Amino acid sequence: MPETILIVEDELSLQETLAYNLKKEGYKVETVGDGRSALESARRLKPDLIVLDIMLPEMDGLEVARILRKEMSAAILMLTARDDEIDRVVGLEVGADDYLTKPFSMRELMARVKSQLRRARLLREEMGMDSTTSMPTHETLIFDNLIINLTRREVLLNDTPVQIKPKEYELLLFLAEHRRQMLSRKFILERVWGWDFIGDSRTVDVHVRWLRQKIEADSSNPTRIVTVRGGGYRFEG
């Protein structure tokens, strides 16, 4: 069954070009031109990947990403017309998995699309998700007073919601799914951020530090996410 891609782009010529090239690669493609239509189509289609422009009528791409990231696990590739670091950072923080700055080549777009879809397949397998639906087969993971709700993409500590960013959630879930296994920084980076992520293992360290501040009783003496000297990290639960 071909993977489904939703294109959200208000520039008609680019929208048609993207759709043509993605269909040629064998993907099932649907297109919309504004933010509100993007929400409706994404909820109906449950796509594997959303190619999402930031500048949209009705509702901008950042708000669309923020809403959809709470509802589904589809990969989000954001498009921006400005080479602006703030746009990229905010986009990644609200839930985008990758971004491209316009203008870009179709070759580069296809490489990013294939990378994100490959990563999404691996995450689905590791999180026990059915390939025909975006919902996990297990709704919650419970570790004493820490609960990870996979359906709502929510983390609770002592029954109180934890304010957690999308990438922190993905990292925590990945660690939790590999409980008591030592995971190298490189392995975590590849699986949570993707093979073609531009960055290094310090990205993992920073996100682990942020997670510890939110879920550990004492972040300076962590007992849930433990550092393995010379190796990486291990989630104890």
Say whether both 108 and 194 belong to one domain.
no
Q: Are residues 99 and 164 in the same domain?
A: no
Q: Are residues 117 and 171 in the same domain?
A: no
188-192 contacts at long range (C-beta below 8 A, 24 or more positions apart): 188/232, 188/233, 191/119, 191/122, 191/123, 191/126, 192/167
Q: How many CB atoms within 10 Å of residue 145?
A: 12
CB 182 within 8 A of CB 188: no
Q: Is residue 131 part of a domain?
A: no
Residues 82 and 148 in one domain: no
Taking the C-alpha atoms of residue 5 and residue 75, their distance in angstroms, rounded to an integer, is 10
3-state secondary structure the chain: CCCEEEEECCCHHHHHHHHHHHHHCCCEEEEECCHHHHHHHHHHHCCCEEEEECCCCCCCHHHHHHHHHHHCCCEEEEEECCCCHHHHHHHHHHCCCEEEECCCCHHHHHHHHHHHHHHHHHHHHHCCECCCCCCECCCEEEECCEEEECCCCEEEECCEECCCCHHHHHHHHHHHHCCCCEEEHHHHHHHHHCCCCCCCCHHHHHHHHHHHHHHCCCCCCCCCEEEECCCEEEECC
CATH of the domain at 46: 3.40.50.2300
Domain boundary among 71, 104, 126: 126
Of 92, 126, 160, the last residue of a domain is 126
pTM over 0.85: no
Asked if residue 169 and residue 85 are part of one domain, the reply reads: no
In a shared domain, residues 98 and 164: no
Residue 169 inside a domain? The answer is: yes
Does residue 100 sit within a domain?
yes
What lies within 8 Å, CB to CB, of 2 at 6+ separation is 26, 27, 28
Q: Tell me which of 126, 160, 181 is where a domain ends.
A: 126
Query: How is residue 28 written in tokens?
Result: 């099932």
> What is the mean predicted confidence (pLDDT) over 182-187?
90
* Position with higher pLDDT, 139 vs 229: 229
Flag whether 70 is in a domain.
yes
Is there a contact between 198 and 146 (Cβ–Cβ < 8 Å)? no
Whichever domain contains 199, its CATH number is 1.10.10.10
Cα(30)–Cα(208) distance, rounded to whole angstroms? 37
Query: Is the same domain home to 117 and 210?
Result: no
Is 170 domain-assigned? yes
Q: Could you give the count of Cα atoms lying within 13 Å of 117 in the half-sphere of its Cβ? A: 20
**Tally of structural domains, the chain:** 2
69 in the same domain as 29: yes
- Tens of pLDDT, residue by residue over 98-145, are 888 888 999 999 999 998 888 777 766 655 554 444 444 457 889 999
The answer on 119 and 27 residing in a single domain is yes
At residue 135, the pLDDT reads 43
Same domain membership, residue 153 and residue 181: yes
Residue 105 lies in a domain: yes
71: tokens are 């509802």
45 and 81 assigned to the same domain: yes
Q: pLDDT exceeding 90 applies to what percent of the chain?
A: 52
**Domain around 62:** 4-126
Task: Tell me, yes or no, whether 231 lies in a domain.
Answer: yes
| Residue 167: predicted pLDDT | 86
Which pLDDT tens digit goes with each residue over 70-107? 788 788 999 987 655 556 666 667 778 888 888 899 99
Q: Is 135 inside a domain boundary? A: no
For residues 213 and 173, membership in a common domain is answered with yes
